[in-house]
Chains A and B, each alone.
Chain A
Amino acid sequence: MAIDILLLLILVIIAIAAIHMKDLLACGVLLGGYSLIMAVLWTNLNAVDVAFTEASVGAGITTVLLIAAISRTKRREDDPSPFRHKVQMSIIVLASTAVFVFALLDAPNFGDPNAPANQHVAPRYIHESSHETGVLNMVTAVLASYRGYDTLGETTVIFTAGMCLVMLLRRKNE
């Protein structure tokens, strides 16, 4: 429990620091650290394959892509926006936060066994996934077998995005 709280505290500190930093390269470096801590959090929740993806994509590939983007653009962030924009943005953010908090008031308690999310298909996964799919890890069974077509679609989206990035970042005169 204390481990979770400390990990989440580190995440919040890194996120705030990354927002306030003007050096975009430093932001990219900090976000790599963010992904590493996030991966530990996933592992602590027993979602090992999600943690794997987070570490390799978040800490590895995303940082490299951010640096590639910085090397094609510029390293410093522009001067801060005028005060009027900040006020407008604050109003929008506070209003949407209020809406989210209002929606959360109706949410079931964390880990409530009678919550709709735990009543619908979760019992079937818990009881049947081991001998229906032969995969011992339940999260992996859901991702790769029950929702295999979803994962295939996600892979297609990520492949398309990667192709677009290659086209954008490629040098013209080669």
Chain B
Amino acid sequence: MFEAAAILILIAVFLVLYRAVKGPTIYDRVLAVNVIGTKTVVLLAIIGFISARPHFLDIALVYALINFIATIAILKYMDTGGLD
């Protein structure tokens, strides 16, 4: 049951990966990688339940918290041409 859910989410990652690789603008890729990060959070929770260790949920929460750092850096670079 949980494995089926995990495989479905991985198939969704493949769909988003097409946009991340294909492209055309940088914003498509940023959004795609951000969605991959969100799917990673769900995937971690599911893997925790597959291996019967539900405290992986905490790790999934921390991932959700650090997911946005790279996105903010990229958007700041696109906005001002630097990170200062």
A positions within 8 Å CB-CB of B: 2-3, 6-7, 10, 13-14, 17, 23, 25-26, 28-30, 32-33, 36-37, 39-40, 43-44, 46, 48, 51-52, 55-56, 59-61, 63-64, 67-68, 70-71, 171
Contact = CB atoms under 8 A, between A and B. Distances in A.
Contacts of A39: 40, 63
Contact of A25 (B20, B63, B74): B74
A29 B17 contact: no
B63 to A, nearest CB: 6
Classify the interface of chain A: helix, strand, loop or mixed. Answer: helix
Of the candidates A13, A29, A70, the one having the most CB atoms from chain B within 10 angstroms of its own CB is A29
B29 A30 contact: yes
A6 B10 contact: yes
A159 B45 CA distance: 32
A64 B70 contact: yes
Interface in B56-83: 56, 59, 62-63, 66-67, 69-70, 73-74, 77, 81-83
Nearest to B4: A2
Of the candidates B30, B32, B70, B83, the one having the most CB atoms from chain A within 10 angstroms of its own CB is B70
B77 A40 contact: no
Contact of B66 (A13, A55, A171): A55
A6 B39 CA distance: 14
A171 B84 CA distance: 10
Interface of B: 3, 6-7, 10-11, 13-14, 17, 20-21, 23, 26, 29-30, 32-33, 36-37, 40, 43-44, 47-48, 51, 56, 59, 62-63, 66-67, 69-70, 73-74, 77, 81-84
Contacts of B14: 6, 10
Classify the interface of chain B: helix, strand, loop or mixed. Answer: helix
B77 A67 contact: yes
Contact of B73 (A2, A44, A48, A67): A67
Contact of B36 (A37, A46, A71): A37
Nearest to A27: B29
A36 B36 contact: yes
Given A2-B7, A29-B74, A43-B47, A71 B83 contact: yes
